[in-house]
Structures are given as C-alpha cells and as structure tokens.
Amino acid sequence: MEKVPPPQHEDETSDALTTALHFTSTGPFSTMEYRHDVGLEELCPVCGDKVSGYHYGLLTCESCKINRDAFFKWILPFLQHSQGFFKRTVQNNKKYVCAENQECRIDKTQRKRCAFCRFQKCLHVGMRLEAVRADRMRGGRNKFGPMYKRDRALKQQRKALIQASGCRIESSPPLVSSTHQRDLTFTGGLHPVPVLHSTPLFTAQNDHISYQSPALCSLLPFNSAGATQNQSTSFSNWIIKSEHTNNCASSPGSAAGIGSDELYSRPFSPQGPRMPQLVMELLRCDSDELKLQNKITARLLQEQAGWEKQGNPSTLSLMCLMADQTLFSIVEWARTCIFFKQLKVSDQMKLLHSCWSELLLLDIISRQVLYGKEGRLLLVTGQEMELSDIASHAGPTLTSLVQRGQELVEKLHILKVDRQEFACIKFLILFNPDVKQLEDHPFIESVQEQIEGALLEYTLYTSSQFLGRFAHLLLCLSELRSLSNLAEDYLYCKHLSSEVPCNNLLIEMLHAKRNWS
DNA sequence: GTAGCCTTGAAT
DNA sequence: ATTCAAGGCTAC
C-alpha cells in the first residue's frame, strides 16, 4: 500500500544536532560506510543455509528467496479476492497442507519436506509480501532500500561490537540474572473486578470533570527545549502537572543533548560487554508504576462522579477512559524524556501521532509481562480482569486481538524481557525514522541507531544467546506494530458506532493519524 | 519442485 | 558506471 519510500537524509546537519549526530555521521559504523559484504557470512533465518543477499525484506539464501512462488501458492487461498499477480497464478492454485502438526523443523536438509511450514517460517522470520512485485517488473530498486541500508549498518555495528568484545556467541555467559519483578502487588485499596461494569469501580468523590477534545499540541510545551521538570501545561479543564520523579530531565547529559561521547563511546570493556549507560538513562525516564497507578486511579475517580447522571459506562468505555489516561501519561513521558524534548514540537507531534497506539499497547503488554499473572489482565489502575471473562463478553475481532496480545505477552515472558529492554523498545517505537516529513530526520535516525546499538549491547550483556534474543525482540516489535494497527481499526469502528466515549485524547489521536496518512 | 546462475533496471 | 535486489531461465 506504501507509495513513496521515505526520503534519504544524509546531508550535513544543523548545529543543534551536531553533537548527537556526531556518532552516526562520522563514527566508525556510519550508515554511509558499510561494506557490501556485511552480513553475507550469516545464515538464512529460514533454513540455515548461506545467505546470498537481501530478499523480500531480509537476508536469506537463494533457495528460500526463489521459493516465493510456492509461498504465493500457499497464500493464494487467503487472497482469492486480490487481483493482478494472484490472478495470473490462479491456474496453479495448489493448496499446501502440512502432513504433521504445522510445526515441521525447517533446515537446510529438510526444507523441501514441508512447503507449508517452510513458508510459514518465511513469514515468521519477516519476509515481506509487499516486496514481491505484482507487475513482475525486473531490476531496479524498491522502497526497502533504506531499510536494507539501516540493517546493514546495524549488522556492521553488531559485528564490530562482537570483535571489540573478543567474545564468541557460545561462550558469553549471562552476566545478570533476569530482573523480573513479580513481587509487587498493585491491588491496593481496589478490589479485582471480573467484569468492570457489574461493580462500581470507585467510590465517588469530588466534582465531575468534563473535558473537551484536548489537542495534542496543547500537551506539548511551546518550546520543547525549554521544558522543565515541574512545568504545568494546561488545556481545556485539565491541569497536567509533570510529576516525574526521575532525573532524566535534569541529568547533566540530557539538557543540551546527550553526546554519544558521554553515553556510548566505548562499546566494551576489555573483559567483555558492559552495561550500556544509555539504557540506564532511558530507564530513568520511565515513571514509577505505583505513582502512575495512583495518578490514573485518582483521575478516574474524579471521572466517576460524572457517570451517575448517565448510568454506568460499558466495560469497553471504561477501558477507553483508562487508555485515554494512559495516553496522557505517555505524552508526558515523551515530552520530558531524553532526545525527544530536543525536537521541534512539529516533529514531536508527527512522531507521537504515528506511534501512540504502539506505545499504548506496549504499555499494556509490558505491564502483563513484568507484573501480570497468567490468564488475567492487569490494568493500569492495579485491578485485574479474567481474560476468560473478556473473551466471553467480546466479539470475534476483540477476542482475536486479545488472543494475539496474549501470545505476544507469552513470547516476551519466555524471553524474560526486563524493564531496561522495554525502556529501549519504547524509544525505538517513538524514534521512528520512517515517519514522513520529519524536519529533523537525521537526528531521529541517529537516535534510533543509538538506541538499537544500546539495546544490542544490553542483550549482549545479559543474555548468552544474544543474537537470537536481539532478533526476537525486533520481531516482537513488528508484531506489536501490526497488533496496534488492528487495535486502531477496531477502535475506529467502535467510535463510528458511538460505542466509546468521544472528545478525548484517544479519539483525537485516532482521527489525527487517519487524516495524516 | 528446487536451486544455482543470469538478466534487468532504478537508485546511487 | 556501478550496485544489488528484483524476476527469469533451466539443469537437475
């Protein structure tokens, strides 16, 4: 569906960004200085054979590249209504069926044995449907060019990190145990409620606070560079106070832009990978979970007073109000966090408009992974819902969304993703260089690269199988993106049928993104 | 059907 | 002019 590839910004940068960009524009792993053969010694993620180059979105071997045709025969039954290329292939409409349990092992020697599982694996590792040309035109370049370029730069960086550390993949011991924190309880004074609207959530108090659609720009400081820690921003009837207890806004490195020299200068100590300081800096930008819980609970308590007039809202409406409040906290996090507050408000808005739903979803998912219990949904207020209850009350779309969300939570849980990694992932989502018409594109790209580097280094530091882990995290990121798109579509439908509260930030963001693209 | 090699052609 | 990831060809 994509029309135009994002423009390449490799020109020299303005003074304000010089420090931050120094690392990527002149450093040893500049995106402009990769060698052509970077990564070619890698193994095909589908079957483990030697890769022959980038094919349909990632480095694979020639054999798995060629198998796109069979892949399309497999996918065809699901795309009967598409036209063009698929119509031409329709006479070969051969349906692949797995003779086993759709979980055949795919490797170099066995890859021919099950076409179904092979192509499922192609999909799973990230081969891109869109890279196959409907018109079968040969040669030329496609929109994946910049992506391949970034990937190469990252691989080069990774290789250099490994060389610098002198460590081998199989000999790197886990240096730090998982930082899972499952000892925290958030039940507080609130009781778990199986289905929200069956029980009053909060005891009513205070006056009803109504609000009109607060524009995102009113949440952002007029001059982002001048944002201070305790600045109050008012909009409509809300007063939002920045109550961050972290020191990210006032830390010495972040005020005028973190220079890579400070945070990311020496990839490794001679002994091996070290804890990247940048990761700790990103973590410091996170607000405390308990404080967030109290703040959002308090706001919802105020809201509740207004409900008595119209009767209790539906569970879905309540969830939207909660999501709306969480969105406020996400915007607050963004506008005070490192790197982002250096951006112009216009770029800040573009980035937030593009990724709000991913951040929101990540917030929910990370809460389940870090603090949740199996089979239950832990809300931002600290309350819990039975997932089976949600499933029994939800329609097929929401049920499948929840199901996929649960699967992602499970994946991240098995990976034992910790707060540090979630903090990095949040930044990776926020600093998306593929967002259109960014004024400070080079800066945003450089932040993205720094964060990727830091996350990679962190996984090196904490995991014995770091390469797989890093790749897994990035895979989860793409699943998160597709889930958030589905969630947006779902929400939009519910909005059109007036089943969710309007005039809030959530709906405003929903509209803004649709108008934008 | 598979997979190694070939041709193509927009972007650089 | 070069690059390199598309699609094509064909021996197996």
Q: Determine contact, residues A79/A90, Cβ cutoff 8 Å.
A: no
Whole-number Å distance between alpha carbons of A260 and A203: 50
Res A98 pLDDT > 70: yes
- A182-185 — which CB contacts under 8 Å span 24+ positions? A182/A370, A182/A371, A184/A289, A184/A290, A184/A371
For residue A316, what pLDDT is reported? Answer: 82
Q: Which nucleotide is nearest to A38 (CA to C1')?
A: C4
Q: Nucleotides on strand B with an atom closer than 7 A to protein CB?
A: 1-5, 7-12
List, for residues A357-395, the tens digit of each pLDDT value. 999 999 999 999 998 888 889 988 888 888 888 888 888
List, for residues A258-286, the tens digit of each pLDDT value. 333 222 323 333 344 567 788 888 998 88
Q: Nucleotides on strand C with an atom closer than 7 A to protein CB?
A: 3-9
Q: Which nucleotide is nearest to A92 (CA to C1')?
A: B1
Whole-number Å distance between alpha carbons of A400 and A372: 20
**Distance in angstroms: CA A148, C1' C1:** 22
Res A138 pLDDT > 90: no
The average pLDDT across A78-91 equals 32
| CA-based torsion, A259, A263, A269, A273: positive or negative | negative
Q: Can you give the pTM of this predicted structure?
A: 0.52
**Where is pLDDT greater, at A428 or A146?**
A428
Res A332 pLDDT > 60: yes
- The residue lying closest to nucleotide B4, measuring its CA against C1', is A62
**Distance in angstroms: CA A146, C1' C3:** 14
The average pLDDT across A470-475 equals 83
- The residue lying closest to nucleotide B3, measuring its CA against C1', is A63
**Distance in angstroms: CA A110, C1' C7:** 26
- In this structure, of A16-20, A135-139, A162-166, the range with the lowest mean pLDDT score is A16-20
Kindly report the backbone phi and psi dihedral angles of residue A382, in degrees, each rounded to the nearest multiple of 5, phi listed first: 95, -10
For residue A412, what pLDDT is reported? Answer: 92
Tally of CA atoms within 13 A in the half-sphere of A88 that contains its CB: 7
Q: Is A39 left (phi over 0), alpha (psi -120 to 50) or beta?
A: left
- In this structure, of A270-279, A341-350, A379-388, A481-490, the range with the lowest mean pLDDT score is A270-279
**Distance in angstroms: CA A62, C1' B3:** 7
Res A9 pLDDT > 50: no
Best CA proximity match to A429, nearest among A444, A414, A407 = A444
- The residue lying closest to nucleotide B11, measuring its CA against C1', is A141
User: Can you name the residues that pair with A55 across neighbouring β-strands?
Assistant: A58
Res A107 pLDDT > 70: yes
For residue A160, what pLDDT is reported? Answer: 67
Vertex A121: Cα angle to A110 and A127 (nearest 5):
125
**Distance in angstroms: CA A66, C1' C11:** 16
**Distance in angstroms: CA A140, C1' B10:** 4
Whole-number Å distance between alpha carbons of A126 and A475: 8
Helix axes A466-496, A419-430, angle to 10 degrees: 60
Q: Which nucleotide is nearest to A149 (CA to C1')?
A: C4
DSSP states of A301-337: HHHHHHHHHH-PPPHHHHHHHHHHHHHHHHHHHHHHS
- The residue lying closest to nucleotide B10, measuring its CA against C1', is A140
Q: Determine contact, residues A240/A231, Cβ cutoff 8 Å.
A: no
Q: Determine contact, residues A58/A125, Cβ cutoff 8 Å.
A: yes
Q: Which nucleotide is nearest to A134 (CA to C1')?
A: C7
User: pLDDT grade, residue A121 (50/70/90)?
Assistant: confident
Q: Which of A14-18, A219-223, A244-248 has the highest mean pLDDT?
A: A219-223
The average pLDDT across A460-485 equals 79
Residues with CB under 7 A from strand B: A 8, 49, 61-63, 66-67, 70, 92, 94, 111-112, 115, 137-141, 145-146
List, for residues A174-220, the tens digit of each pLDDT value. 222 222 222 222 222 222 333 333 333 333 333 232 333 345 555 55
A224: CB partners within 8 A, 6+ apart: A335, A340, A341, A342, A343, A344, A345, A348
For residue A424, what pLDDT is reported? Answer: 94
**Distance in angstroms: CA A429, C1' B5:** 40
Q: Token pair 């944002």 is at which residue?
A: A227
Res A256 pLDDT > 50: no
Q: Determine contact, residues A363/A334, Cβ cutoff 8 Å.
A: no
Vertex A326: Cα angle to A325 and A332 (nearest 5):
95
Res A428 pLDDT > 70: yes
The alpha helices in A228-314, defined as continuous H runs, are 260-263, 277-284, 289-310
DSSP states of A131-187: GS-TT---SS--TTHHHHHHHHHHHHHHHHHHHHHT--GGG----S-----------
For residue A431, what pLDDT is reported? Answer: 94
Q: Determine contact, residues A327/A240, Cβ cutoff 8 Å.
A: no
Q: Which nucleotide is nearest to A34 (CA to C1')?
A: C3
**Distance in angstroms: CA A63, C1' B5:** 12
Tokens coding A242 = 């920045």
User: Can you name the residues that pair with A259 across neighbouring β-strands?
Assistant: none
Report the Cα A21 to chain-centroid distance in Å: 23
